[in-house]
Structure 1
Amino acid sequence: MTLLPEGWRKSSYSGQQSACVEVGRVNDGAAVRDAKDRSAGYFTTTGRQWAAFIDTVKTDRFN
């Protein structure tokens, strides 16, 4: 069981931009933090929540 997020990464689409988020692995879900202010902490999601979020982004339902 992963208690702390591991493997933080940001999207390759971000390039050198600093206004982005980073995603890490935690248990059966994901952790998300601000790439500019890592000390501010992070929030976590379950695997199901993360999958629903990614599906919503990929199908452009936020517009």
Structure 2
Amino acid sequence: MTCPGAPARAALLREYEGDMVGLAVYLAVLLHDAVGDLYRLNPNEMPEPAVLWDRFLAWLDRSRRGADGPP
């Protein structure tokens, strides 16, 4: 499972400029698919939900607040 690095995050922000809700929905769909894949691969070793949230969606909130905002 990978999460977008800085160049990919910047590309997503450009692609969804003006549509942060659309980007959040897209990332949530990816998170949903990843949870299903992880469960199928190894249902006994699922990551904590907070870990998945951090990997898929937390960066979006930080970028919305700007680089100088709180984490």
Normalising by the residue count of structure 2, what TM-score does the alignment of the two structures yield?
A: 0.24
Q: Which structure would you say has the larger RCO, counting Cα contacts within 8 Å and 6 or more residues apart?
A: 2
Select the structure that is richer in strand: 1
